[in-house]
A and B are shown apart, each in its own frame.
Chain A
Amino acid sequence: MKKYSVPALLTTFALCTVVAAYFEIIDLYVQTIIMFIGVNIILSSSFNIINGYMGEFACGHAGFMAVGAYVTSILNVMFFTSSKTFGDPIFSPELALWFFPVTMIIGGVAAAITGLLVAIPSFKTRDDYLAIITLAANFIIVSLFINMDSLGGARGFMGMKQIVFAMEDVAFLPWMLIWTFVFTYFVVFLIRRFVSSTYGKGIIAIHQDEIAAEIMSVNTNKMKLVAFMFSSGLAGIAGGLFAHILGYINPNSFNILKSTECLVMVYLGGMGSLSGSIIAAILFTLLIEMLRFIIPAADTLIHLIPLVPDTFHLSQVLKWVIIPLILVILMQFRPEGIMGNRELSDFFPKLKKYYEFK
């Protein structure tokens, strides 16, 4: 009973949401927010492997997300839709539904291989220097996609909506919502298994004392390779989902701002806490969506008091003031984040009676 409580709860939640979406009880906007929460959970929990559990400071997570997004989108568009770039579909569009997980995994693998770009330098560099390398990797990847005119260049790549329509033709269900649930659960489940094993704890050992880890038979180079590739592979999966939820991708949506979002989520949740990452991803996504309403409301409010000139308006760009500000405030007042490096069950030991999450 204890063993099945968490899967049962999650399945019930997913089913309820899907049913509600199917009968249009929740509208597309709410559905999109739920899907973005899923994507952000994948992003923050996978980024937590590097920045939390392994204690390195990487800041180019969005680059790997871009690789996953592009690879998955290109494969799907090439195989299952007729597009200007790739011509007629190679396979029948009905197959898109069945091959969607496969192309997602391929996108993840491609992102994992790109992860070598930072994994190999990480053997010899660390701290600030590694941060610079990861930043550079992010820029390299983004400018690569910007300069690939065949993929739309800076205008972006589209056609993923056709895939979603093709899936809906097979069975009319909110497919992207279903896939988001499936992949989010899958990723969290994988990370949980990884970090709770003796093998995965090797990366925590690297965080706490790399020399001790090396002397106590942990192959630190291999562990770093595994950690970076695992993390960037999962970011690739998040990218694939992101591309298909939006139906359109643009290289600039994977730039340093997106990486900053990932950083904020990880540090908000707590380094080395999986439940912290999940909580932070949910809070953060909701906050961003709330700002969408709060900023115009604040704008009207300040114009009620005739202190500011009429030409002055608060714009949505303010979001990019508020997000880094959260990071600054967080580092100042609670550097360990919401959860520190503890899990939910460490805070509420009574919960252990009701669930076992492995």
Chain B
Amino acid sequence: MALLKIEGLSQMFGGLTAVSDFKTEFQGNELMGLIGPNGAGKTTVFNIVSGFYKPTQGQIIFKDRAINGLKPHKVTGMGVARTFQNIRLWHDMSLLDNILISQHYNLGYNLFDLFTRNKRYIENEKRMKHIAMQLLEQLDLIQFIDERPKNLPYGIQRKIEIARALSVKPSLLLLDEPAAGLNSSDIQDLIKLIRWIHKEFDIAIWMIEHQMAVVMSLCSWIQVIDFGKTIAQGTPEEIQSNPAVIKAYLGDDKI
């Protein structure tokens, strides 16, 4: 049984085909890469999987359940977490709140419990806080707990966004260009972080990335798309020598 199985996925925006006949499969805890030139439709794939777009065609099966057409918050609740290309944290809330709010998928209490502050409310709030603290401890972010993300350096913000995605206990983590805007030393840290997360949390990670250093050193399997179509897939070595990929990125040698 596959964790995630995408078959014949197509997305049209009016007359434009953003993604056509896309397929992929995650068995358990692979670390896969999705690359392609600008405008190839990579983020569209992520937007479809995380529920922002309803695909025109195709099936997305996650944990034996079709998730195409489900609302994003439902998809996240089932265990698909994602980050964004441009950081989307709640910038004016403390780091702890940023992590806590992501627990909305299993609050464990209702409005009545909230207003009466009964045992169920207190226990669940305590449980969520415990989860958040534990996660921040693990990711070495505990010293920023009361800071607002907007006051923190960019590299830390990236890390917080990943931490926030991890707080929903995902079985599939989608990283949309995690290295965008980072300097080379931050990138080395990020590679270490992703590798560590992959091992520690034992989850599947699917990443879009333009920095080849990141993709090639992390991913065990890479899929390349261009104009919505899959043009190649394979191990990093295979991709690096694939003529179709070189052509998509660099163009023909004919002038």
Q: How far is the CA of A218 from the CA of B76 in the complex (A)?
A: 9
Indicate which residue in A193, A213, A341, A358 contacts B101 across the interface (CB closer than 8 Å). A213
A219 contacts B by Cβ under 8 Å: yes
> Would A190 and B76 be within 8 Å (CB), given that A208-B91, A212-B84, A218-B104 are in contact?
no
The A interface is mostly helix, strand or loop, or mixed, namely: helix
Residues of B within 8 A of A197 (CB): 114, 121, 125
The segment from B13-21, B92-100, B190-198, B236-244 that touches chain A is: B92-100
Contact A201 B73 (CB under 8 A): no
A260 contacts B by Cβ under 8 Å: no
Give A196-234 as 1s and 0s: 1 = Cβ < 8 Å from B's Cβ atoms: 011111101100110111111111100000100000000
Q: How far is the CA of A341 from the CA of B150 in the complex (A)?
A: 15
Contact A212 B88 (CB under 8 A): yes
- Contact residues, B78-117 vs A (CB, 8 A): 81-82, 84, 88-93, 97, 100-105, 107, 109, 111, 114-115, 117
B32 contacts A by Cβ under 8 Å: no
Chain A nearest Cβ from B174, distance in angstroms: 10
Chain A nearest Cβ from B145, distance in angstroms: 15
> Would A214 and B114 be within 8 Å (CB), given that A197-B125, A198-B103 are in contact?
no
A-B interface pairs (CB < 8 A), number = 90
> Would A218 and B115 be within 8 Å (CB), given that A209-B89, A212-B84 are in contact?
no
Residues of A within 8 A of B84 (CB): 212, 215
Indicate which residue in A198, A212, A216, A226 contacts B111 across the interface (CB closer than 8 Å). A226
Chain B nearest Cβ from A63, distance in angstroms: 24
Interface centre among A204, A216, A226 (most CB of B within 10 A): A216
Residue of A nearest to B161 (CB): A212
B50 contacts A by Cβ under 8 Å: yes
Residues of B within 8 A of A219 (CB): 71, 73, 104
Chain A interface residue count, CB cutoff 8 Å, equals: 26
Chain B nearest Cβ from A83, distance in angstroms: 35
Residues of B within 8 A of A211 (CB): 52, 88
Give A286-321 as 1s and 0s: 1 = Cβ < 8 Å from B's Cβ atoms: 000000000000000000000000000000000000
Contact B107 A198 (CB under 8 A): yes
B179 contacts A by Cβ under 8 Å: no
Residues of A within 8 A of B101 (CB): 198, 201-202, 204-205, 213, 216, 218
Contact A217 B97 (CB under 8 A): no
Chain A nearest Cβ from B80, distance in angstroms: 9
Q: How far is the CA of A219 from the CA of B104 in the complex (A)?
A: 8
Contact A200 B82 (CB under 8 A): no
Contact B117 A193 (CB under 8 A): yes
Residues of A within 8 A of B111 (CB): 199, 226
B245 contacts A by Cβ under 8 Å: no
Residue of A nearest to B164 (CB): A216
Contact B89 A199 (CB under 8 A): no
Residues of B within 8 A of A185 (CB): none
Chain A nearest Cβ from B26, distance in angstroms: 19
Contact A358 B117 (CB under 8 A): yes
Residues of A within 8 A of B228 (CB): none
B72 contacts A by Cβ under 8 Å: yes
Chain A nearest Cβ from B121, distance in angstroms: 7
A194 contacts B by Cβ under 8 Å: yes
Contact B90 A217 (CB under 8 A): no
Chain B nearest Cβ from A224, distance in angstroms: 13
Indicate which residue in B73, B90, B97 contacts A214 across the interface (CB closer than 8 Å). B73
Residues of A within 8 A of B117 (CB): 193, 358
Indicate which residue in B50, B97, B109 contacts A201 across the interface (CB closer than 8 Å). B97
Contact A215 B50 (CB under 8 A): yes
Residue of B nearest to A222 (CB): B73
Subset of 18 A-B contacts with CB under 8 Å: A197-B114, A197-B121, A198-B100, A199-B114, A202-B101, A204-B93, A209-B91, A211-B88, A214-B73, A215-B50, A215-B52, A215-B88, A217-B77, A217-B104, A219-B71, A219-B73, A226-B111, A341-B92
Interface, chain A (partner B; CB < 8 A): 190, 193-194, 197-202, 204-205, 208-209, 211-220, 226, 341, 358
Top 7 A-B pairs, shortest CB-CB distance: A217-B105, A212-B88, A208-B90, A216-B102, A217-B76, A218-B104, A214-B72
8 further A-B contacts with Cβ under 8 Å, apart from A209-B89, A212-B89, A218-B101, are A193-B114, A198-B100, A198-B107, A199-B114, A201-B93, A214-B71, A215-B76, A217-B168
